[in-house]
Structure 1
Amino acid sequence: MKVSLEVKYKTPKGTETSFTSEEMKVEKALLIAEDLQKTGRVKEVIFVDQLQTTWTIKEIKKYVEEVETEPHNITVYFDGGFDHSSRKSGLGCAIYYEQNGKSFRMRKNAQVDDLDTNNEAEYAALYFGLQELELLGVHHLPVTFIGDSQVVVNQLNGEWPCMEETLNTWAERIERKIKELGITPEFTLVTRKKNQEADQLASQALKDIEITSTLEI
């Protein structure tokens, strides 16, 4: 989870001011807030998350303790590829997360043969990533999804209309799964070069190379 700090500060001579920090990971924000409190000059510190919900230091400490043993600070890279000659699709996802004070990267791919277009494969790859999150036990957390498909990212962000029935069905399926897991999604569009890891996983799936790995990084 990312938060910003809203701080009310008072100088030794009684001059008061308020300021708001940039967004940062909740663990970093907590360290800064506790350090500011040590000065004895902070009247109030409030944490504000991406949904504009406010938290006290006590509430944030409890949250950090609760999520420490579960996967959190999650980013999912996804990509789908479709081969017209074989009518097969390759799905790839790379999931980065933290758990018990350590950082991990999980890679997974799959080959499927019941899709008809590259756009459908891209949607299927995102759903594939959601299924992997469910297996990891991820729930009620913010998750960043990163892909190079303008169609998928812009449609799920509501910037482009979804006119094709098949793609609309995939979008609804994804939205249901996100709601079921209680995830707060952020969809980010990147270039294919910046999505190379997921792209390679999808390509390997099309070549019948199965990848399943989890690595501490």
Structure 2
Amino acid sequence: MYIRMEWIYRTPKGTEVACSSEELPAAHALLILEDMEKSGRLKNLLLIDRHDSTWTVKELKNYLKGIETDPHNVTVYFDGGFDLTSRNSGLGCVIYYEQSGKSFRLRRNVSANEHTSNNEAEYAALHLSIQELDLLGVHHLPVKFIGDSQVVIKQMKEEWPTLEKDLSGWAERIDKKLKDLGIQAEYELIPRKSNGEADKLASQALNGVEITAKSEVVEE
């Protein structure tokens, strides 16, 4: 979860100014807040998440304590590829998350032969990533989904209409799965060159190389 802080700062002589922070991971925001509160000059503090919901310090602390042993701070990269000649598709996803004070990366791909276009393969890759979130036990959390498919990202953000029957079916299935898991989805469009991990996994699946791998991410 990411939080931005808004507050009134009061000087010793009584002058006040409205302040706000950039968006921060909730745990980092709490650390900074605890240090700022030592001054005794904060007023009207607001903690606001990406959905514009407000939190008290106590609520945020309880939330972070409750999810410490569950996967959280989840970011998903997904990509789908489709081969016109073979009519096969490759689906790939990379999931970054934190759990019990550590950071992890899950890589997963599968091959398939029931899709009819690259756009459908992209939707199927997004759906695959949500299935993996379900297996990880991710629920009732905000999750960022990142992909290079303009069609999928803009349609899932409801910026573009979903007119094709096959694609609307995928969008409905994905929305239902997200609702069932209580996941608040945020979508981000990136250039293909910035989606290299998921793209490689999709290509490997197209070539018959399927991968399921989980590893700890260690900061150097």
TM over 0.5: yes
Provide, for residues 169-216 of structure 1, a one-character-per-residue CA deviation record: whole Å limited to 9, x for no partner.
000001101111111111111111000100000000011111111110
State the partner residue of 1:94.
94
1:131 aligns with 2:127: no
CA-based RMSD: 0.9
Could you list the per-position Cα deviations for residues 107-165 of structure 1 after superposition, in whole angstroms to 9, with x for gaps in the alignment? 00001111111100000000000000000000111100011101100111111111100
Q: Which residue of 1 aligns with 2:21?
A: 21
Q: Tell me the residue number matched to 2:10.
A: 10
Cα offset for 1:6? 1.4
- Give the aligned partner of residue 147 of structure 1: 147
What does the per-residue CA deviation read over 1:73-92, in whole Å, with 9 as the maximum and x for residues that have no partner? Answer: 11100000111221111000
Q: 2:181 & 2:171 partners in 1: Cα distance? A: 15
Matching residue of 1:156: 156
How far 1:50 sits from its partner (Å)?
1.2
**Superposed displacement of residue 18, structure 1:** 2.3
Secondary structure of 1:159's counterpart equals: coil
What amino acid is the match of 1:90? Answer: G
| Residue aligning to 1:84 | 84
Match of 1:55 in 2: 55
Matched residue, 2:39: 39
Contact 1:88–1:206 (Cα < 8 Å) also in 2: yes
Deviates more, 1:129-138 or 1:156-165: 156-165
Matched AA of 1:157: K
C-alpha deviation, 1:16, in angstroms? 2.2
Q: Partner letter of residue 166 of structure 2?
A: T
Structure 2, unaligned runs of 5 or more: none
Match status 1:66 vs 2:66: yes
What displacement does 1:51 show?
1.4
2:166 and 2:210 map into 1 onto residues whose CA distance is 27
Aligned length: 217
SS state of the match for residue 209, structure 1? Answer: coil
Q: Which amino acid aligns with 1:88?
A: N
What are the residue-to-residue correspondences of 1:114-125 with 2, within 5 Å? Answer: 114-125=114-125
Quick check: 1:45–1:57 contact (8 Å CA) kept in 2?
A: no
- SS at 2:59's partner residue? helix
Q: Bigger CA drift: 9-18 or 25-34?
A: 9-18
Distance 2:80 2:41 in 1: 53
Q: With structure 2 as the length reference, what TM-score do the two structures score?
A: 0.96
Which runs of at least 4 in structure 1 moved beyond 6 Å after TM superposition?
A: none
Contact 1:93-1:128 within 8 A present in 2 as well? yes
Q: Deviations over 1:29-73 (max 9, x none)?
A: 111111111112223422111111111111111111111111111
